[in-house]
Chains A and B, each alone.
Chain A
Amino acid sequence: MDITVKDLTHLYNPKTPFERIALKDINVQIKSGTFLSIIGHTGSGKSTFIQHINGLLKPAKGEITVGDVTIKAGEKNPKLTALRKKVGLVFQYPEHQLFEETVEKDICFGPMNFGAAEEEAKRKARDALDLVGLPESVLNRSPFDLSGGQMRRVAIAGVLAVEPEVIILDEPTAGLDPVGRREMLSLFMKLHKQKSLTTIMVTHSMDDAAFYSDEVMVMDKGRVVMKDKPEAVFSHIEKLQSLGLDVPETIKFLLQLDERCQVGIGTPVFSIPETAAKIMEMLGQGREKGARV
């Protein structure tokens, strides 16, 4: 499903002394099937932006079109149920939203809200649990007895069970250990490919943004500063640093290497094998130029 955002502006606490512009004139196109990462300093408006995509927040100005639903400032909202069914939103620390006695009931909550019959919901719950890599044996346990990582998987299963076409993740790996993080991310990558989803991920990790995405969007003070392929975005190293953002580790490494080789790093690369190849290439060029490497 294509997502089109036009002139989107959002105000918190409008018409009070606490009024605050959280988003300013945002224009973005997200093509169906894209894996988009959003990066930006804390408070740059990432969470505010993604909540507009399934109608949780209403724009003060502008409009958002998701598939065939349009939300427009100043107009009454269309029926949001259809939109929310198609756009799954996984909040930061999604395990905080668990409330049912059993894992099964909690995962069924979404599908049943969107009109699935009990049997159908249970089937979807089983499928979703399988997708997030948990055994069926947890279905009858209380979600509050599980470990933190398992709770998060259950919460994510609760969103997947609705079978959305767009999935939005707000810092999905916050608070996980390194292994948990990697598993979580490969899970989203797998889902993205298997189900041909459109995935939007807010992240603080430049490595993840660079490695997993088709496109990276950079936000600063409620505005979109860049939106492009990761190679293009992470070429603007000084720009990113001026926004208080980092660059991926692979780039940092290559920059250090280049201080000795003086050949330039060319197109940025983000995976380990590509980086190894790039190192060999740079070393070769460096020797030809007579650098002592």
Chain B
Amino acid sequence: MFNIIIGQYVPGQSIIHRLDPRVKLISIFIFVIIVFLANNWITYGLVVLFSIIGILLSKVPFRFIYRGLRAIIIIIIFTFILNVLFTKQGDLLISIGWIHIYKGGLIGGLFISIRLLAIIVITTLLTLTTTPIDITDGIEILLGPLKKIKLPIHEFALMMSISLRFIPTLLEETEKIMKAQSARGSDFASGSVKQRIKAIIPLLVPLFVSAFKRAEELAMAMEARGYRGDEGRTRLRVLKWTGKDTALIIIMLMLTVALVVLRT
């Protein structure tokens, strides 16, 4: 019933998997910005090349990447069509009735689609090769300096990792209670809107009850094990910056320079 894959992490040992999550986050941040520098065939070619190398190095089967893209592909196609139809630049290629397709529109549409695709592929690659916990850790450290101005970064990160941890549990619980109520004759799948809303109550009440119970138990267990918030707390998993991380940063800088030089 719930075939959603949360966090969709695909376990692996590839070089992309082993990169420091901080470096991955920074690199994606840089990538998303410099993609906008590309404006001709060579620069877009570089962007595509970079994305393809990323996919190949991660050794993630292509169907996982495709699954991440499926929902977005409609939007990309839509943007492409809008661009083709409404940009009037360059030579007129085709003209049927009110439809006029110009060369500029075609190329522009293609470029925008490549840009969107590249951004999505690269960010998908992050979630596919990094555990949610690592991503949270990375964000917490990168945003660490903001603690100085009293932003609750640690609490935010903790909230995020606890939620990530409990989403599958909650889905499992939902499925279980739905089954239990179906066995007592509940019908979640048919009936009028009003009937369906009424059918949700026997599901929501037990879910809330158990979520609150779980939260209380978790809080108690954390306190019992000495959790006092961020101050003085050390990390179990220390992130390690290695040679390949420096290499990636250098590659990102080189890509930036290349895009700046080669753009027209």
Interface of A with B (CB < 8 Å)? Answer: 13, 16, 18, 51, 54, 56, 81, 84-85, 88-89, 91, 94, 96-99, 109-110, 113-114, 144, 158-159, 162
Contacts and interface: CB of A to CB of B under 8 A. Distances in A.
A49 to B, nearest CB: 14
Contact of B177 (A54, A97, A162): A97
B3 A16 contact: yes
A60 to B, nearest CB: 15
A54 B183 contact: yes
Contact of A159 (B176, B184, B202): B184
Contacts of B185: 81, 84-85, 109-110, 113-114, 162
Contacts of B202: 97, 99, 109
- Which has the most chain A C-beta neighbours within 10 Å: B5, B179, B183, B185? B183
A168 to B, nearest CB: 9
Contacts of A88: 183
A109 B202 CA distance: 9
Interface residues of B, number: 19
B208 to A, nearest CB: 9
B58 to A, nearest CB: 16
Given A13-B3, A16-B3, A109-B202, A96 B177 contact: yes
B205 A84 contact: no
4 cross-chain pairs, A with B, having the tightest CB-CB distances, nearest first:
A113-B185, A99-B205, A97-B180, A110-B184
B181 interface: yes
Interface in B90-141: none
Nearest to A13: B3
A91 B176 contact: yes
B183 A91 contact: yes
Contact of B184 (A18, A51, A144, A158): A158
Nearest to A80: B182
Given A99-B206, A158-B184, A159-B184, A51 B179 contact: yes
User: Of A51, A91, A96, A97, which is in contact with the most chain B CB atoms at under 10 Å from its CB?
Assistant: A97
B186 interface: yes
B183 A159 contact: yes
8 contacts: A13-B3, A51-B179, A81-B185, A88-B183, A91-B179, A97-B181, A97-B184, A109-B184
